[in-house]
Chains A and B, each alone.
Chain A
Amino acid sequence: MQQLKKYLGIVWILLAVLIIVLLVYAAIINISSEGKADIHHPLPWIIIITIFTPIAFGLALFGYYALKEEYV
């Protein structure tokens, strides 16, 4: 179990990177001057990416701590 917890740390670090990449990608393909919904406006995306960047950093840090076996 301890080994699983440790190596899952790598998954959490990769997941953190993936979240930011997906958010930026989704913003690029959805922001459109023709759309009327919130997902077509830049402002919600700016707010969401801004707030999610430190959260993703936190997930990566959590993964790092898991990898270092801080959670026993």
Chain B
Amino acid sequence: MSSAKGIWKVIAASSVGTLIEWYDFYIFGSLAIIISEKFFPADNPTTAFLATLATFAAGFIVRPFGALVFGRLGDIVGRKYTFLLTLILMGGSTFLIGCIPSYQSFHLAPYVILLLRLLQGLALGGEYGGAATYVAEHAPANKKGYYTSWIQTTATLGLFISLIVIITIQNSLSKEDFNQWGWRLPFLLSIVLVIISIFIRLKMKESPLFTKLKASGKISKNPLKESFTKKQHLKIVLLALFGATMGQGVVWYTSQFYTQTFLLKTCGLNATQTNTWLCIALLLATPFFIFFGWLSDKIGRKKIMMLGLLLAIIFYRPIFAKLYSYTNTLQKQEVTSTIDVKKIVHPYLANDSLIIKTTQANYTDESTLLLIEKYTESVVKAGNNQPQEVKKTITLNNSYQWKIIGLIFILVFFVTMVYGPIAAFLVELFPTKIRYTSMSLPYHIGNGVFGGLVPFIVTLISVMPSSNYLSGLWYPIGVAAICFIIGSLYISNQQLNISDNEEQDELNN
């Protein structure tokens, strides 16, 4: 066991690196629109294809693949060097994304960006399992939940920092400068953070449990084979996925990312208000990762995670309905409104015109609406009065601020319940010799695939007949409900005892 001072060094070294990896991964997503403009012009079918591949492949295929590649390496070579490698890979890829010239001057840019994005996904797949395993293997048995919960804060803080960095740079530069070169700064900044983190991690020692296992010559020769072909381990991998990480992944993604998309696109809330209020809610909820990690050491992991899933299942629809109601102008009383209609030459259709109707409305609660509707003249003449494009922006009065922050806080609170204890839960399911491999795969399938699919499935459900603005939520609710049933029924303390006993046998024999 490590001394108290030693364990905090271990937590700091692991958490800072993981935080930077999440930051690197998120800035690509947060700057997706500008990256798309610079590298993947939509009018070019090849680059549009590559853009889709970058979005889908990085999360769905490469992350679980990274979990297998680096998990195996971590169980053979060691945790320390493996998660150093993932950090270098992530940091290097992120820095290079900031250096690549745009498509206009470098036609191979989309291919290079795709490659770098895939490397980011690969690195992320390997990082988390390494950091969680490394911390857990330094922690005393009765404090694994508390110590690993610090790693659990990094995903939310990574999102928070990426938003803060982008907002700060956007506010410091003119719109033209940001679009021209300023968007590169968050990527370039990453290299400084990564170098600092590499130095910190280089000073760390290998995990004591792994060192002991290696010294006794008992490390696994083929962790992939042992994890996924031995029934005793495979059945636990499947239980971890379907009884824990699958539900945790959709709750995590829905509460933190879908909320942002819902407020921006479905509700039409002003982007600055959305991002600022989201940041405040994230910051307020973050300590609860630590709280639930600590609590899981006292009362068990399963109860907290299952309660978090149940609360999400019950309250998702009412909370999202409430968020929608705050921005629903049909429920507000209009004070004044102005309508401006202008006709311009259609930018894409030479012999046609574009009619732009701009409506500005003020309401009694001091909220304002800006509605821009675009019609193609020939389409209107043909009898179709539906606008081809609608952009709605609502700016709410500040009296709504704490109501919306409160609701987002509750959504993120559910995340802290399911995500806070999960690292310790996964670590305890598997013996040291295959831990990195076995825990990484269910984690990244749960988060990358089930969680990452939230926007796609929500869109799919929303285009179905008779669907409404809440219909898409049936996907996370359904997945969380199945996970809740499986987790509640099949996860027992006996599974934890099995891996504990196996580990003792490994070290004693």
Q: Which residues of A contact B (CB under 8 A)?
A: 1, 4-5, 8, 12, 15, 26, 30, 37-39, 41, 43-44, 47-48, 50-52, 55, 58-59, 61-62, 65-66, 70-72
Contact = CB atoms under 8 A, between A and B. Distances in A.
Contacts of A61: 234, 238
Given A4-B489, A5-B489, A51-B449, A41 B238 contact: no
Interface stretch (B50-58, B110-118, B215-223, B286-294): B50-58
Interface in B387-436: none
A19 to B, nearest CB: 10
5 contacts: A1-B489, A39-B456, A43-B49, A51-B60, A72-B494
A47 B59 CA distance: 11
Given A37-B459, A38-B456, A62-B235, 17 more contacts: A5-B489, A5-B490, A30-B463, A38-B55, A39-B456, A39-B463, A41-B52, A44-B52, A44-B456, A47-B61, A48-B56, A48-B456, A55-B445, A58-B238, A70-B231, A70-B235, A72-B494
A62 B231 CA distance: 11
Contacts, number: 71
Interface in B476-501: 482, 485-486, 489-490, 492, 494
A58 B241 contact: yes
Contacts of B456: 38-39, 44, 48
A72 B449 CA distance: 28
Nearest to A26: B460
A62 to B, nearest CB: 4
Interface of B: 49, 52-53, 55-57, 60-61, 64, 231, 234-235, 238-239, 241-242, 445, 449, 453, 456, 459-460, 463, 482, 485-486, 489-490, 492, 494
Contact of B490 (A37, A48, A71): A71
Contacts of A48: 56, 60, 453, 456
Contact of B61 (A1, A51, A58): A51
Contacts of B460: 26, 30, 39
Contacts of B449: 51-52, 55
B132 to A, nearest CB: 22
B57 A47 contact: yes
Given A5-B490, A37-B459, A48-B453, A43 B238 contact: no
Given A4-B489, A51-B61, A38 B235 contact: no
B52 A43 contact: yes
A65 B238 contact: yes
A1 B456 CA distance: 36
A59 B450 CA distance: 13
Contacts of A30: 460, 463
A59 B64 CA distance: 17
Contacts of B56: 38, 43-44, 47-48
A24 B239 CA distance: 26
A55 B237 CA distance: 12
A40 B489 CA distance: 38
A71 B49 CA distance: 44
B459 A66 contact: no
A39 B238 contact: no
Contacts of A70: 231, 235
- Please provide the 10 A-B residue pairs with the shortest distance between their CB atoms, ordered closest to farther: A62-B238, A71-B490, A47-B56, A65-B235, A51-B60, A44-B56, A43-B52, A39-B460, A70-B235, A5-B489
Contact of B53 (A15, A43, A65): A43
A50 to B, nearest CB: 8
Nearest to B243: A62
